[in-house]
């Protein structure tokens, strides 16, 4: 199971959409033949989202930085629970990438 998980990382290193498609098809086939229920469910999910996964090769953009920013905002909001000064909260959001403002995990 660990090998299957690690092999899937290779998908992001494919050089073209066609190679990504071939890699994904082979990986999905391998996982289904293994019969591991959790991985078969994962394979089904990946197959349903195959078009979106392959779109990565057209644009080479991920939502990683945006997700990181969303997590910072969520943490800041949690720490400000009950705080009533919305203007101050907006200032914190505008300076969220400042290490003096960003909450420590």
pLDDT of 84 reads: 78
Render pLDDT for 38-84 as a digit per residue (tens, 0 to 9).
999 999 999 999 999 999 999 888 888 889 889 988 888 888 777 77
Average pLDDT of the chain to the nearest whole number: 88
How far is the CA of 66 from the CAs of 16, 58, 81, 100, in angstroms?
24, 19, 23, 20
DSSP code, position 102: S
pLDDT of 76 reads: 85
Model pTM above 0.85: no
CA distance 51 to 21: 10
Asked if pLDDT for residue 103 goes beyond 80, the answer is: no
């Amino acid at each position: 199971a660990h090998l299957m998980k690690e092999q899937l990382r290779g998908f992001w290193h494919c050089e073209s959409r066609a190679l990504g498609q071939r890699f994904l098809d082979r990986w999905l086939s391998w996982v289904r033949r293994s019969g591991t229920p959790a991985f078969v469910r994962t394979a089904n999910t990946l197959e349903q989202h195959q078009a979106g996964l392959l779109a990565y090769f057209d644009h080479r953009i991920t939502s990683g930085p945006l997700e990181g920013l969303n997590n910072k905002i969520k943490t800041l909001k949690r720490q400000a629970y009950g705080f009533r000064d919305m203007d101050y909260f907006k200032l914190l959001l505008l300076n969220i990438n400042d290490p003096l403002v960003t909450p420590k995990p």
